[in-house]
Amino acid sequence: MSLILITGASDGLGRALAEELAAGGWHRLLLHGRDADRLAEVARATGGIPLRADFSSLDEVKRLAAEVTREHDRLDVLVNNAGVGFHVDGRTRQLSRDGYELRLAVNYLAPVLLTRELLPLLRRSPAGRVVNVASIGQQPIDFDDPQFVRDFHEPAAYSRAKLALICHTLDLADELAGTAVTANSVHPASYMPTSMSTRSGMEFVDTLEKGVSAVRRLVDGVELAGVTGRYFDSGQEARAAAAAYDPEYRRRLRTLTGDLLAGR
């Protein structure tokens, strides 16, 4: 049986994915969430192991990784799904517990750090997979204002973090070339009927089932065994924003990321 860690599994897409995977009976699930009650509920429904952590704290991300490492000798799939959404007209800039812009911290720095901490376990899998839940909404970071102090806008902050995550996925795939671990990113679907979409103020567009199907294909689709360094729009391989393929942009992003994570 494959061991799969799903972050943000207590609600929305993450919970639906966990329920889908549990129904097959072929996987053991590690379920991350922030809300203890919702997390316990999905754990009961799926038979998964609940792991509580607040991803606005990078120390809690490291604690979660340490717990997984202590209790398990390998990890087959890491699904980085947890995230903070946006309101379409949102202009209130929020900070993480570490003092970083909230969406940059939770939607980008947290999954990067978690992946780094769990790479040794993923390398022990005969065919490890990293699946990063990204978005079709993508925008480059302003390196003169990486914390988005000026003219803050929630959708733009979300889009900056999601493009950064796609860039990290491509870098990770390059780093892991020649190993058994793959890394891919996916825009699951647009404005699915989840609490995140409700809070955005947008009308629902796609079904939750479409999003689950798109992510699950990267989790255990046999046709994607060995496929790495790709971005998928729902079920189809696609091209991300141009900055994702710009070596200089990615180099500057790696430097920024390293500086922000230094000491964590």
Q: Catalytic residue positions?
A: 158
Give the pLDDT score at 235. 84
Contact call for residues 167 and 108 (beta carbons, < 8 A): no
Q: What is the pLDDT of residue 89?
A: 83
- Is residue 30 a contact partner of residue 71, using CB atoms and an 8 Å limit? no
pLDDT in tens, 166-205: 999 999 999 999 999 999 999 998 776 666 655 555 555 6
Residue 246 to residue 264: CA distance in whole angstroms: 27
The pLDDT, as a whole number, for residue 65 is: 98
Q: How confident is residue 231, by pLDDT bands cut at 50, 70 and 90?
A: very high
- What are the extents of the domains in the chain? 2-261
pLDDT of residue 1: 87
List all residues 6 or more positions away from 17 whose beta carbon is below 8 Å from its beta carbon.
6, 9, 79, 81, 212, 215, 216, 219
Summarize the confidence of residues 142-162 as an average pLDDT. Answer: 97
Q: pTM value? A: 0.95
Pairing of the two strands 231-233 and 182-187: parallel
pLDDT of residue 193: 65
- Tens digit of each residue's pLDDT (9 = 90 or more) over 7-21: 999 999 999 999 999
C-beta of residue 157 within 8 angstroms of C-beta of residue 108: no
Q: Do residues 163 and 242 touch, judged by C-beta distance below 8 A?
A: no
Beta strands of the chain (E only): which ranges?
Answer: 2-6, 27-33, 49-52, 77-80, 129-133, 182-187, 231-233, 236-238
Nearest-angstrom CA–CA distance, 189 and 100: 28
Class for the domain spanning 2-261:
alpha beta
Rounded CA separation 101/109 (Å): 10
pLDDT of amino acid 73: 97
Q: How confident is the model at residue 137 (pLDDT cuts 50, 70, 90)?
A: very high
Radius of gyration of the chain (CA): 17
What average pLDDT does this structure show over 100-123?
Answer: 98
pLDDT category, 234, cuts 50, 70, 90?
very high
3-state helix, strand, coil in the chain (%, to 5): 45, 15, 40
Between CA 145 and CA 24 the distance in angstroms is 46
So what's the pLDDT on residue 114?
98
| Residue 180 Cα distances to 176, 214, 232, angstroms | 8, 22, 20
Backbone angles phi, psi at 181, to 5 degrees: -100, 130
